[in-house]
Chains A and B, each alone.
Chain A
């Protein structure tokens, strides 16, 4: 990496920061300080805008750099991720988006608390939402740190630490000053940049092969050293049955987890109606689907034009495949085109991390202020702070916690943190959400049990897995207390979450509240009384 890349990438990235800070100040001109405005941007976004924002929220750097890198290294097995991340949106579209828009105000807990005893349900759902968000956030922060090291050549510890601190500080500024309105616009800008960059690279790859996908695949297979095996599953997850079961577990968590991610759920409240929520999900499915299709082309393109050996030499987990591909497509190292494309990719990757991190911070500060603070605050104590003030403070607190954890975790493999966030979301948040929306006999006890019944096993199984102890790559390589063989807890913890909710509901002494179920059902399907 030469100095030209770094300078140009830094300039582009500074322009992005300047533009987004401009947006933040611009949208907070006429601020009223209402909760509606802070958490939901006044509910005035159009489906098109919200569709881009959802896509911008969802397509993280792990998708952009990670998946195509996995495809470049392991061929077809990397593509399994693209499929899982996209198919998950059908759960959101069919079962969640419209009903959640109609039933809630700002958070997941709103939907559940509409039918149940407010306090225990809010505390449970708020806790699991914050847990999911913090796991996801730390993964993004650590990713930001290593990305700087990879792309700008600043491999020093200090450069990585300062990147983590810088990203954390920026996201706190965006969120606490601009709230949902600024966050949404940052995500829209980022989604447009990311799509434009990806389309450019994809077109260049296809042009290189004269539009012949078959010869692209053949070239990738030839260059990989695996021949036709490169185009079939099994290179990465084909080992023993433990690793195959691990992959199935990950696949289930990916598909069911998306619908339980707090920052995705909160995006449905930024549009005025359930119909607008549906149309924004349709937009985002179109964007996300075409994006993942292009990452497949880019991954195989990197394998064909750069070769897995060279990709691995630059970064063992393949994260630099796309930057290297951009350099090559632009005309190789030292050429102007290569320098520009490389810098664009680096800047887009940073923009991606900032936008995703801001979205998660906003959602978790909503959970802290709207669910936990309002429930734990003493009932008759004189209200000292407004909820929005608490949310702004919470954004700063969560930012500080994420910076701290990101610095502590900077040397760890972060892929499992993302997987764990999805597993916890699928085990703790999805069961309670689906039961509340669809099950007439669901009760408060069932709601509380299904949250903790998914959250606790998911976290416990990871603590007892080879991720934490017992293997050279684990968090504590020196000790061995692992009893659970899989790295991904989903295959056990998701059924446990559903089971715990069912047992809790059928054993509870309190009968289900028929009137409040009727209210939830009527509101969910018609939108009557929706905020």
Chain B
């Protein structure tokens, strides 16, 4: 009787009512290994590499560009006041340039993520969830 119940539980996938609700993080044994395994997998390493290769240089570049802009505005107002065309001076061009680079970088990032990362990330998501679901039912 006991034996039969036990085998039933393991054979039939039971809808776990707690799975989707706010259970505090009580990881099933084995989930840790799965995440470590996924993290080490070449597919995940590739997604992470693509993300970081784009994001880290881009973040550094725009932070430096913004810092240069702010420091130039406070430390070199004479240079910034130099006229370019009509009433437009270097400071105006630099300020509008900040707007332009923000829009451009936003577009470039969205495009990069859509074309180079989204599909691979989605596949990894399904794989990982399949693997952890198996663990949760064991």
Contacts and interface: CB of A to CB of B under 8 A. Distances in A.
Interface residues of B, number: 56
Interface stretch (A86-94, A146-154, A329-337): A86-94
A529 B47 contact: no
B118 interface: yes
B102 A86 contact: yes
Nearest to B63: A255
B47 A525 contact: yes
A246 to B, nearest CB: 9
Contacts, number: 168
Interface string B89-106: 101100100110011011
Contacts of B122: 526-527
A503 interface: no
A528 B51 contact: no
A499 interface: no
A307 interface: no
A18 interface: no
Interface string A3-36: 0000000000000000000000000000000010
A218 interface: yes
Of the listed residues A77, A80, A94, the one surrounded by the most CB atoms of chain B closer than 10 A to its CB is A94
Nearest to B121: A526
B9 interface: no
B39 A518 contact: yes
A251 B35 contact: no
A311 B70 CA distance: 27
Of the listed residues B55, B81, B83, B118, the one surrounded by the most CB atoms of chain A closer than 10 A to its CB is B81
A105 B20 CA distance: 12
A89 B132 CA distance: 35
Of the listed residues A214, A292, A528, the one surrounded by the most CB atoms of chain B closer than 10 A to its CB is A528
A95 B59 CA distance: 8
Given A232-B77, A285-B103, A526 B55 contact: no
Given A114-B25, A247-B74, A76 B99 contact: no
Nearest to B85: A214
Interface in B51-71: 51, 55, 58-59, 62-63, 66-67, 69-71
A251 B70 contact: yes
A237 interface: yes
Contact of A218 (B87, B99, B110): B87
Interface in A87-136: 87, 89-91, 93-95, 98, 105, 114, 118
A522 interface: yes
Interface string A489-528: 0000000000000000000000000111011011101111
A528 B43 CA distance: 14
A208 interface: no
Interface in A236-282: 237-238, 244-245, 247-248, 251-252, 255, 275, 278-279, 282
Of the listed residues B38, B48, B125, the one surrounded by the most CB atoms of chain A closer than 10 A to its CB is B125
B63 to A, nearest CB: 7
Contacts of B47: 525-526
Contacts of A118: 24-25
Nearest to A235: B77
A522 B74 contact: no
Nearest to B86: A214
Given A221-B87, A248-B70, A94 B81 contact: no
B124 A275 contact: no
B36 interface: yes
A238 B125 contact: no
Interface residues of A, number: 61
Tell me whether chain A's interface is mostly helix, strand or loop, or mixed. Answer: helix
A254 B113 CA distance: 26
A522 B38 contact: yes
A522 B103 contact: no
A86 B62 CA distance: 12
A134 to B, nearest CB: 26
A248 B113 CA distance: 32
A16 B61 CA distance: 43
Nearest to B123: A526
B11 interface: no
Contact of B132 (A231, A234, A529): A529
A528 B128 contact: yes
A234 to B, nearest CB: 4
B74 A248 contact: yes
Contacts of B33: 515
A155 to B, nearest CB: 36
A286 B31 CA distance: 40
A204 interface: no
A231 B87 contact: yes
B35 A519 contact: yes
A-B pairs with lowest CB-CB distance, top 3: A232-B81, A515-B32, A528-B128
Given A80-B73, A80-B95, A218-B86, 9 more contacts: A87-B62, A90-B58, A217-B92, A232-B77, A285-B103, A516-B32, A522-B44, A523-B35, A528-B38
Interface of B: 22, 24-25, 31-33, 35-36, 38-39, 44, 47-48, 51, 55, 58-59, 62-63, 66-67, 69-71, 73-75, 77, 80-81, 83, 85-89, 91-92, 95, 98-99, 102-103, 105-106, 109-110, 113, 118, 121-122, 124-125, 128-129, 132
Interface of A: 35, 76-77, 79-80, 82-84, 86-87, 89-91, 93-95, 98, 105, 114, 118, 214, 217-218, 221, 228-229, 231-234, 237-238, 244-245, 247-248, 251-252, 255, 275, 278-279, 282, 285-286, 289, 292-293, 514-516, 518-519, 521-523, 525-529
22 contacts: A76-B91, A83-B98, A93-B106, A94-B55, A214-B86, A228-B81, A231-B91, A233-B73, A233-B80, A238-B77, A285-B103, A519-B31, A522-B39, A525-B44, A525-B47, A525-B48, A526-B47, A526-B124, A527-B122, A528-B125, A528-B128, A529-B129
